[in-house]
Amino acid sequence: MTAKLYEKDAYIKEFTATVIDCISADNAFKIILDKTAFFPEGGGQAADIGTLGNTNVFDVQIENGAIYHYTNEPIEIGSEVIGKINYDRRFNFMQNHTGEHIVSGIAHKLFGVNNVGFHLGEELVTIDFDKELIREQLDKIEYLANQKVWQNLPVKAYLPTEKELKKTEYRSKKEIDGAVRLVEIKDTDICACCAPHVKNTGEIGIIKLLDTEKMRGGIRIVLKCGNFALQDYKNKYQNVSQISALLSSKQEKAYEAVQKLDEKCTAASQKITELKKKIADMAVSAAAQNDTCIFVDGCDVKELQLLADKLHKKFGGIRAVFSENTGNFSFAICAGDDELQELFAKFKSQFTVRGGGRGGMVQGTVEATSESINLFFEF
């Protein structure tokens, strides 16, 4: 058994260990040590990374009680190595995992929801609750969670005796065989957990609930704590700052400025639509009976469909409308269904065409020149 230093002291950055085994597996090597401060992936949290001597540790897994440190190079069995953890990353995870315990504990006490899923990755944390929560409830959870941070409460991780465990009410996402490690946050939460945590809640810094989505009768919450939350704020500050500069508005007025711009864009879009309809009507009025194929500028597929339909209703027969894009043409062709399918099959055999349709209308894009398209439609 490898001694789990990370369970006793989550703040160990460097340690010395003896290599018990080195196993070759799938272009990598699985190193077993007599003791380790590397946390193996588990409980929804990604594994620690770092180095053993001069060799990078890119993953750590626990399988049947054995802890494997995955490296790209072998390490001699029996040798002593210095292990170094990427501690900045580890501490970020500790902040977020302890923050998740606070949020889950408060949500359980206030609203009776259970944490049924958890993921702590490189940039964010997600919690899956088995019941839905509205925004007002989430705001209350977030505020109370940050109060726990401000109170700088002690966080205790320990292995209770079997007798103590039976007397303790604690949260757990699944049944656990064997020894149960509990993480207790004073006056807040007690939860079964194998991961490293901060010693005091003040080290978390801040807890921020960012986003939600409904799932399987419950809710998934995205949150960030500590440095994750700081980086998130930095990115959003830069975005808001740039948006405000573009709109010549104060940052606190950015939403109002965007709303006004959206209203202007909507009005302009409606005006453009009206003008395009007028242009389509003018094109139909100017078209002659023998104009089977016409070209127009600046039309999208929907507008081409409208124009082809109007021409077909006015003249009947096959009516094809094209508008040039970068390197190709958008098109819409309208005709009787049987006649159209035969024509379209020939069209696709002669040109590189993407698209299709039914009910007397096909549309898409074609790689061709206007001359070759005109020549095709000269029946």
Residues 195 and 99 in one domain: yes
* 3-state secondary structure labels for all residues of the chain: CCEEHHHHCCCCCEEEEEEEEEEEECCEEEEEECEECCCCCECCECCCCEEECCEEEEEEEEECCEEEEEECCCCCCCCEEEEEECHHHHHHHHHHHHHHHHHHHHHHHHHCCCEEEEEECCCCEEEEECCCCCHHHHHHHHHHHHHHHHCCCEEEEECCCHHHHHHCCCECCCCCCCCCCEEEECCCEEEECCCCCCCEHHHHCCEEEEEEEEECCEEEEEEEEHHHHHHHHHHHHHHHHHHHHHHCCCHHHHHHHHHHHHHHHHHHHHHHHHHHHHHHHHHHHHCCCCCCEEECCCCCHHHHHHHHHHHHHHHCCCEEEEEECCCCEEEEEECCHHHHHHHHHHHHHHCEEEEEEECCEEEEEEECCHHHHHHHCCC
Question: Residue 242, exposed/middle/buried by CB under 10 A (0-12, 13-18, 19+)?
Answer: exposed
Residues 95 and 77 in one domain: no
Residues 118 and 25 in one domain: no
Residues 182 and 212 in one domain: yes
Domain boundary among 31, 59, 85: 85
pLDDT of residue 296: 87
What does the block give as tokens for 98? 């302890």
CB of 307 closer than 8 Å to CB of 332: yes
Residue segments in the chain with a per-residue pLDDT below the cut of 50: none
* CATH number for position 75: 2.40.30.130
Evaluate whether residue 192 is within a structural domain.
Answer: yes
What does the block give as tokens for 4? 């789990």
331-349 core/surface letters (b: 16 or more CB in 10 A; e: else): bbbbbeeeebeebbeebbe
Location of structure tokens 């799932």? 215
Residues 46 and 121 in one domain: no
CB of 4 closer than 8 Å to CB of 33: no
pLDDT of residue 334: 94
Residues 57 and 96 in one domain: no
pLDDT of residue 297: 84
pLDDT of residue 368: 93
Residues 198 and 122 in one domain: yes
Residues 97 and 226 in one domain: yes
Evaluate whether residue 32 is within a structural domain.
Answer: yes
* CATH number for position 153: 3.30.980.10
Evaluate whether residue 271 is within a structural domain.
Answer: no
Q: Which domain holds residue 21?
A: 3-85
Residues 113 and 79 in one domain: no
Domain count, the chain: 3
pLDDT of residue 379: 66
* CATH number for position 293: 3.10.310.40
Evaluate whether residue 270 is within a structural domain.
Answer: no
Residues 229 and 102 in one domain: yes
Give this prediction's pTM: 0.76
| Cα–Cα distance for residue pair 96/89, rounded to 1 Å | 11
Residues 153 and 230 in one domain: yes
pLDDT of residue 7: 92
Domain boundary among 234, 268, 286: 234
CB of 328 closer than 8 Å to CB of 336: no
pLDDT of residue 279: 79
Domain boundary among 85, 116, 131: 85
pLDDT of residue 123: 81
Residues 102 and 226 in one domain: yes
Evaluate whether residue 248 is within a structural domain.
Answer: no
